[in-house]
Structure 1
Amino acid sequence: MRLILLLSFCLALIACSANPQRLYQEQVVNATTPLAKTPAEAVRNTAAEPMQVAPGWRPKQWQITAQEPRLLVEGVPSNYRVFSVDLKANKPFLIKVNSWCVNSCLGFSKYVLAPYLFLLDDKSTVIGQGFGQIRGQVGVVNQDLAGQVTHDGTYYLIVAADNRNPGEQVLFDNVMVVGISAPTAVAPLRIGMGSYPFGSVAPFLAEPQE
């Protein structure tokens, strides 16, 4: 009986996250949600959420799902959300974007939405974009966007899923686990996180601009 329960639990863990390549094809490529060809069009296709400012250690999260509109990122369709933030001219800013492991990191395969970022000014001109360096640990990853703008105004951050290589490893981390043979022994286990088309993100301005 215990063996059956253990087997059922293991199968449930494996099924927690669907294959990212199949999910991308079925729910992103074949979707009918609006598909923007440019970042400017993407901003027009949806309402912008006000970006959080210095929210502390528990920033609000937004889901990026198959119901969100899509944007072509280097020719690849990706679901996205838009956030607005007021920035001041010639004042350094730091925007952080956190992304959490899908399905609470259950299962043997760990996945996370890898953010692809676009920053646009109030005239919808792209002033920064790309796939920055992923940092973090198993459970949550983050990217930073830092710089200065040339004029005061409302700017728009597009956070899109980087679907150029669904399932590709975006982060490796060493997790400490208790050894099986010796309960007191601790050994590092190298665990990776692959990119996923959907997930939850939290962009925020790290500090208020003075």
Structure 2
Amino acid sequence: MTLFAYPVEEDLGEIVVATTRIETMLGDTAIAVHPDDERYKHLHGKHAIHPFNGRRIPIISDEILVDPEFGTGAVKITPAHDPNDFMVGKRHNLEFINIFTDDGKINQYGGAFEGMPRFRAREAVTDALKKKGLFKETKTNEMCLRICSRSKDVVEPMIKPQRYIKCSDMGNEALNAVADDENRKLEIIPRQYTAEWKRWLRNISDWCVSRQLWWSHRVLARYVVF
């Protein structure tokens, strides 16, 4: 885990964040803190400045993602390259910046780091932060690392166009089928699992049927041009 600082506007000093993928800071669009964390209340609504491109980065409050006891209590948000950050981006209407090419190199949004393979960029970004006096330290951090079952390479979360099946209508039909009145069409046995049925279907998400695996589901899709 690497700790580094973002300068804060209005001469408010700096805010230190921790990350295991420091190269993704090139696509950061926010810094999140817990709304009840006294250390950062004076920074609510303020902006940090990206050290490599000058982008103004809002400091936001998010009690869902941020654990004040983990790391520094301030979390860099890269909505285009992390599933949890993606949800934060949706909740706070953040900008989504993809910084990787399909072959794992930094794209045009990486500025001086463009063209570097992602792990080479990790070293280069660290060195550049040290030169700017923003690097703090590294710490050992145990974590689960997602590895491709075929290539054995580290999986890189990225935003890609997908095809989805809308599930909300089907979910509502399934919910109505176990209604607690004379309209009930389906009985769940044992009855205590009815609550579990409702919990899943009330929080149902659309089903991604395209995915990024070439051996995944084939989709019957046609384009019609008039």
Note whether the superposition's TM-score is higher than 0.5.
no
Largest Rg, 1 or 2: 2
| Higher relative contact order (Cα pairs below 8 Å, separated by 6+ residues) | 1
Question: Per residue, is there more helix in 1 or in 2?
Answer: 2
